Amino acid sequence: MMQLIRAYEEQAAALQAESGAPGTCTSVGQEACAVGVIAALGRDDLILTNHRSAGHLLARGADPGRLFSEVMGRRDGYCKGKSGSLHISARELGVILTSTIVGGELGLACGVGLSQKMLHRAGVVVCFFGDGAACEGRFHESLNLAAVWGLPILFVCENNEWQAFVSRRETMLADRIASWAAPFGIDSVTVDGNDVEAVRAVATAALDVVRSGKPFLLEARTYRLRGHFEPDDQAYVDAQELASAWARDPLSRFEGSLQESRRLDADAIATMRAAAKSRVDAAVAYAMDSPYPAIDELVTDVYA
């Protein structure tokens, strides 16, 4: 799944460079966060995410052909081509919304969590956000509200060290966002976000707490290996820092672990990588063949 996400996002960036698709925010380098957390979810659990959503959608089972169709504004996309890459929702997968407003999903997650609680529905709410959103007032308001109301929400901060074009170190003095949960009476944990097995284990334990009726904050420390928004030459990133981050690439790290433990060999991993690339190529072809929405679709799905 991490290979599929990487192949999808690299292709999305390549299409943008060729003027074949709009710009997009990738999550290259953060694949272990998405896969590890979502692998721990149940079928009734709900997801709210942010502008780096492709990894979350794919890990939840989204069809890459329908995702590319959406990005390209085609009719066969999840939202009939009307959301682009930054607002995709897929209700059949439990992905309630993708918010491009930094921190926007945090407050909305409280609404979804309250709905789940009041209607006695199965499933908890998982809300993905970044370290930039953690600097917003809405982050603190949402944690407070979730704690006071006892909402079944797993807050997942993908701390990728960059807030658009600004380093996290320029915007906060604390080194751990997880520690900010304590004043609200919320338990929290920080995990190596580049270790997919560690993320899954920690997320599984955190979800047990959430299913008991208490919110929880999980901070996954990772690194954004591509720029904020394609195209982006990352000229603002120290070259040595970026090289060090690539050395901790979650895909290379997990592949090395699999080979070292003899769970998979290099040939098997290469075969999986080729299969992911083939699936992405087929998805692009599917999207290219998808028609644009008809003109009479222009104002449908706008108002309830």
For residue 270, tell me if it sits in a domain.
Answer: no
> Would 168 be classed as within a structural domain?
yes
| 17 located within any domain | no
pLDDT of amino acid 304: 67
**CATH assignment at residue 31:** 3.40.50.970
**Which range marks the domain in which residue 281 is found?**
2-9+23-42+51-223+275-285
Domain count, the chain: 1
pLDDT value, residue 11: 96
Contact status, residue 44 vs residue 260, Cβ threshold 8 Å: no
- What's residue 26's pLDDT? 93
CA geometry: angle at 112 spanning 108 and 115, to 5°? 140
CA separation for the pair 11, 192 (Å, rounded): 27
**Can you give the pLDDT at residue 174?**
86
pLDDT, residue 120, reads 96
Q: What is d(CA 250, CA 258) in angstroms, rounded to the nearest whole number? A: 12
CA distance 271 to 187: 41
Cβ burial of 141 (10 Å; 0-12, 13-18, 19+) is: middle
Closest CA to 139 of 184, 176, 107, 100: 107
| 232 found inside a domain | no
Count Cβ atoms within 10 A of the Cβ of residue 3 and give its class: 0-12 exposed, 13-18 middle, 19 or more buried: buried
- Residue 298: predicted pLDDT: 85
Query: Taking a C-beta distance cutoff of 8 angstroms, is the pair 286, 68 a contact?
Result: yes
* C-beta neighbour count of 172 within 10 angstroms: 15
- 260: in domain: no
Cis peptide bond upstream of 183, omega within 30: no
The answer as to whether 85 is a domain residue is yes
Q: Which residues, at least 6 apart from 235, have a Cβ–Cβ distance to it below 8 Å?
A: none
pLDDT in tens, the chain (304 residues): 999 999 999 999 999 888 767 888 999 999 999 999 999 999 999 999 999 999 999 999 999 999 999 999 999 999 999 998 889 999 999 999 999 999 999 999 999 999 999 999 999 999 999 999 999 999 999 999 999 999 999 999 999 999 999 999 999 998 899 999 999 999 999 999 999 999 999 999 999 999 999 999 999 999 999 999 998 999 999 999 999 999 999 999 999 999 999 999 999 999 999 999 999 999 999 999 999 999 998 888 877 6
Q: Is residue 216 part of a domain?
A: yes
Residue 250 located in a structural domain: no
What's 193's DSSP letter? T
Q: Given this model, what pLDDT does residue 19 score?
A: 79
Kindly state the tokens that stand for 97.
């919304």
Start-to-end Cα distance in the chain: 35
Pairing of strands 162-163, 166-167: antiparallel
Tokens of 240: 């040595």
